[in-house]
Chain A
């Protein structure tokens, strides 16, 4: 067992070898690069679904605007005050920093969990694209409460798209990434164009005099669709905040911010949040209202802007599933030593295509996003505690690395325990992560303190490889 684990972790280390060393000062990037990265990354296929679901969940116009505004500000602040400072001080990816804290065994488990979650997310993106193809072929989109595939046609489309996306990811991931750079601004424009185009259909006058009236009575009118839970301000606010929980509070964007000159570059995340997670969500809400509140991204876009809309839904799914498949493959490669890249991508793509057939992942996307963040969030809390709280309390840092542990069992227990406690908390799924973060950080700090690892001198913070530049 120990030999097998060593084999896996050594294979995993080789994969991430290229970013093992802290980023050198000459490799730091300008703020403009961060603005561009965030702007390109947060207008995805899922935006067609999320904004539309707020309408179906009966959010009012006032709650939507206020919730998105505050929630996205909180998300930006989370990147700025939680993720970026640790990334800038360590100049390491979460992978290597977690390895110091939790040991290679826990890091391996984290990677596998991440890979599985990525596959589901990519599957949801394929399903969104499938609605566009289904529209062209006359195949119905599964009903809102569907869990299993609704028809053979739906399965065939999802598998065919999954196979096509996987094949293209295998044949030319880098070329497709460059193509995605071209697609991304256009998709954002299609969101805006679609919303503007359906305004007259919704009854908005040309002088916009009744815009707010239409928004609050015909779009976000506060009436939930049949079978959908009623959402209010706090649901929208919390969702906008935790939508990228794994990236900011969960710290996976350390990979990005280790290249930042200053921790204040976290503010550049606003370039992704406000166009993507505010404007695009508002636009998809307007479009779904114009098609009689039918959760059908392909139909929404087609009715609004015609064939270009079909293309936008298809390309949005394709270009966003591609890097997700890549990341899933990278994470999976740890447990399949010596497999070539194509084989790993094929494995991830096959799993993703199979998952895409189950409409529950795209029709329950909001809940899935909440679970995704909840599962990875405790690791971010553990790293935060180890980085900031341990030195303050004089608790020894990086015990796994210093003592050569494969598993820091305290991290594993806190990770699993926090998820268990969160799931039992008698509050809405969207609100569980916040107390969960404090539980994880508190439990991990207490476990280290109680283990008596407060050694004279050992608690002082270990000098960081890349202290803040500038």
Chain B
């Protein structure tokens, strides 16, 4: 579970970096890029907080 949360949180941060690149390349329109960035950001906060909690209490993992 801990590994999954870690991978998912890193993925969400990668999406935060990837969507502006897609917008710059014209693959995504502006509103979709901004919405995707917001969702990926929220996912990062949720997943990274969970990951941090696992690291603090390893027994949970």
Contact = CB atoms under 8 A, between A and B. Distances in A.
Interface of A: 178-179, 181-183, 185-186, 189-190, 192-194, 196-197, 199-200, 204, 206, 305-308, 311
A296 B16 CA distance: 23
B11 interface: no
Interface residues of B, number: 22
Contacts of B16: 186, 189-190, 193, 308
Identify whether the interface residues of A are mostly helix, strand, loop, or mixed.
helix
Contacts of A185: 13, 48
A308 B33 CA distance: 11
Contacts of A178: 52, 56
Given A182-B52, A186-B45, A311-B41, A305 B20 contact: yes
B60 to A, nearest CB: 15
Contacts of A192: 17, 20
A314 to B, nearest CB: 12
Interface in B6-56: 13, 16-17, 19-21, 23-26, 33-35, 37-38, 41, 44-45, 48-49, 52, 56
A190 B23 CA distance: 14
A193 B24 contact: no
A283 to B, nearest CB: 11
Contact of A193 (B25, B37, B49, B52): B37
B20 to A, nearest CB: 4
Nearest to B10: A185
Contacts of B37: 193, 305-306, 308
A189 B34 contact: no
Contacts of B56: 178
B44 to A, nearest CB: 5
Nearest to B31: A306
B24 A206 contact: yes
A308 B34 contact: yes
Contacts of A197: 20, 23-24, 33
A341 B54 CA distance: 29
Task: Pick the most buried of B13, B16, B20, B33: most chain A CB atoms within 10 A of its CB.
Answer: B20
Nearest to A186: B44
29 contacts: A178-B56, A182-B44, A182-B45, A182-B52, A183-B45, A185-B13, A186-B13, A186-B16, A186-B41, A186-B45, A189-B13, A189-B16, A190-B16, A192-B20, A193-B16, A193-B17, A196-B23, A197-B23, A200-B23, A200-B24, A206-B24, A305-B20, A306-B35, A306-B37, A306-B38, A307-B38, A308-B16, A308-B34, A308-B38
A193 B20 contact: yes
Contact of A199 (B24, B44, B49): B24
What are the nearest 7 A-B pairs in CB distance? A306-B34, A197-B20, A196-B20, A193-B20, A182-B48, A308-B41, A189-B16
Contacts of B19: 193
Nearest to A199: B24
A190 to B, nearest CB: 7
A204 B23 CA distance: 13
Contacts of B24: 196-197, 199-200, 204, 206
Nearest to A302: B34
Contacts of A200: 23-24, 26
A189 B17 CA distance: 6
Given A181-B52, A186-B44, A206-B26, A196 B21 contact: yes
A92 to B, nearest CB: 29
B38 to A, nearest CB: 5
A346 B25 CA distance: 49
A196 B21 CA distance: 6
A305 B34 contact: yes
A370 B41 CA distance: 34
A187 to B, nearest CB: 10
A25 to B, nearest CB: 25
Nearest to A182: B48
Given A308-B37, A308-B41, A206 B25 contact: yes
Nearest to A195: B20
A201 to B, nearest CB: 10
Interface centre among A183, A192, A199, A305 (most CB of B within 10 A): A305
Contacts of B52: 178, 181-182
